[in-house]
Chains A and B, each alone.
Chain A
Amino acid sequence: AQSVAQPEDQVNVAEGNPLTVKCTYSVSGNPYLFWYVQYPNRGLQFLLKYITGDNLVKGSYGFEAEFNKSQTSFHLKKPSALVSDSALYFCAVSPAIGGGFKTIFGAGTRLFVKA
């Protein structure tokens, strides 16, 4: 069975500092990994994904994530945080690309960026 863990309920960072939001996963076979962001009272928005290839993937709004197979991790990173990055971030895993396969979400990590 697939699962996703986000060990931090909340991450606090000062504007301009680098940020990391952690994610570990468990899935049989090759993982398809995603990060989504949710702003207050909004739906989830796709940020980036890892399917195959380069372990460092880049996404929207300057975010990137590093896939580490040995540590089964997919941490979200940004070199310089903005106040506007404050939101709820979800790591997600899917057993395959395409329909019929459920994407499972982690519990979410709330990011606070202080000015």
Chain B
Amino acid sequence: NAGVTQTPKFRILKIGQSMTLQCTQDMNHNYMYWYRQDPGMGLKLIYYSVGAGITDKGEVPNGYNVSRSTTEDFPLRLELAAPSQTSVYFCASSFQGPGGANVLTFGAGSRLTVL
């Protein structure tokens, strides 16, 4: 199993450009997440999905959009890139069983620089 796969690993954008970060998982997990990680700030949740067709905002959703048309894929769209979106982005997935907290499996990350 590949786990959680993110592409691209690195990308430089100009201010105002748009792009999509791709995320695919092959573990049949129902839950998927996008986090961003800035130095000294920990991981902040951008968007999450509890299943195909269902998405919701996290802590820092402004400037981003997501969709979840299949169980496997959860792309993150950046519209009109701004320097404040320079960060490392992590996609994660988990299986939520009844009653318990679940373990997130993370991808390797996508480092985005907006100049």
Q: Do A and B bind each other?
A: no
B→A interface (CB under 8 Å): none
